[in-house]
Amino acid sequence: MKKRVLSGIQPSGTLHIGNYFGMMKQMIAWQESSELFCFIADYHALTSVTDGQQLKKDIIDVALDFLALGLDPDKTIFWVQSDVPEVTELTWILSNVTSMGLLERCHSYKDKVAKGLHPNHGLFAYPVLMAADILLYQSQVIPVGRDQKQHVEVARDIAMRFNHTYGETFILPEPEINDDIAVIPGVDGQKMSKSYNNTLEIFTDDKALKKKVMSIMTDSAPVEAAKDPDESVPYLLYKLFASEADTAALAERYRAGGLGYGTVKKELLEIISNFFEPFKKKRADLANNLDYVYGILDKGAEKARFQAKSTIDNVREKIGIRY
């Protein structure tokens, strides 16, 4: 029997290659071997997005990107988080078995406040909503980066507290961490992130992509000098797209000397453009048929609600709420 895998992505800006290699590529692969639940986390985005029209646009853009890149709605339950209202009901119910201490220990809240986000209740209680996302669908496997592992552990703690209080109700989820996925560097060498404004967008136009690639941070080593490829942002990005043989060949050129960073950036630009080119036409076709895309999301929400209703009915019975 296939394991149930769940993951979500926030519609809080244009998706970039860090999103693709860090999450989207893995989700598209998971759909072949698991029962995949994949959602657009618009409630989560409210912690940072306050422009309603922009959020509407970002939601559909995420859907277009995922479908263009290969997410198959016949193999995956794909929906928008807010289209399943049971998740907010479960969030409130779970809040009553969640200790303040558990939330106060979550490093994500402190990190986001340190980056300038307003310290409101939504940001503080974010892990409870994430737990509801996971537990509502009785998810077994949650693919996450190491920085999100704590949130899955919080979901397990909340599930265990509920199960202990009311009886066995929720499956305890397990985090799935792919150690082969390194941190994707942005154009400034930091982790690629919209909050750092250092991203390379997946479906940007050629002119904008060229401008960003050519602006990637490099050191001041002269062309003739031998260079360490593993300390070079252009090389680390090239490695994501290239075959092992091509990656090894470029590394050797770095170490031999005589290779300028401008040359590497041009080769990086070419490989990125070639990689995403086949997906651009599909995305354009989908963008011209939005009724079809909305239909996919509606059907996904219907399937997700079927599982959600089963869980929430059981939860209501356990806690003594009539339905």
* CATH code of the domain covering residue 262: 1.10.240.10
Q: Cα–Cα distances in Å, from 164 out to 41, 100, 129, 194?
A: 29, 18, 20, 40
Q: Cα–Cα distances in Å, from 311 out to 28, 55, 86, 224, 277?
A: 26, 29, 9, 64, 42
The whole-model pTM stands at 0.92
Please write the tens of the pLDDT for every residue from 38-76. 999 999 999 889 999 999 999 999 999 999 999 999 999
Q: Is residue 191 part of a domain?
A: no
- Same domain? For 158 and 209 the reply is no
Cα 134–Cα 57–Cα 16 angle in degrees, nearest 5: 70
Structural domain of residue 261, as residue ranges? 204-284
Q: Is residue 151 part of a domain?
A: yes
Which of 240, 133, 266, 132 is CA-nearest to residue 183? Answer: 240
Total tally of structural domains belonging to the chain = 2
Q: Is residue 189 part of a domain?
A: no
Position 119 pLDDT exceeds 90:
no
Position 145 pLDDT exceeds 80:
no
Which of 144, 25, 135, 142 is CA-nearest to residue 84? Answer: 135
- Same domain? For 107 and 8 the reply is yes
Q: How confident is the model at residue 114, as a pLDDT?
A: 79
Identify whether the C-beta of residue 264 lies closer than 8 Å to the C-beta of residue 234. yes
Catalytic positions, written as ranges: 112, 191, 194
Q: How confident is the model at residue 323, as a pLDDT?
A: 61
- Same domain? For 41 and 150 the reply is yes
Q: How confident is the model at residue 305, as a pLDDT?
A: 98
Q: How confident is the model at residue 283, as a pLDDT?
A: 98
Q: Is residue 195 part of a domain?
A: no
Which of 217, 236, 44 is CA-nearest to residue 125? Answer: 44
Please write the tens of the pLDDT for every residue from 163-204. 999 999 999 999 998 776 668 999 999 999 988 899 999 999
Q: Is residue 215 part of a domain?
A: yes
Q: How confident is the model at residue 108, as a pLDDT?
A: 76
Residue with the bigger pLDDT between 229 and 150: it is 229
Packing angle, helices 52-69 and 290-319, rounded to 10: 100
d(CA 239, CA 242): 5
Position 17 pLDDT exceeds 80:
yes
Q: Cα–Cα distances in Å, from 199 out to 18, 112, 207, 224, 272?
A: 8, 18, 15, 29, 13
DSSP state of 229: G
Residue with the bigger pLDDT between 62 and 12: it is 62
- Same domain? For 178 and 240 the reply is no
- Same domain? For 78 and 124 the reply is yes
- Same domain? For 164 and 33 the reply is yes
Q: How confident is the model at residue 174, as a pLDDT?
A: 96
DSSP state of 139: -
Q: How confident is the model at residue 64, as a pLDDT?
A: 98
Whichever domain contains 90, its CATH number is: 3.40.50.620
- Same domain? For 264 and 309 the reply is no
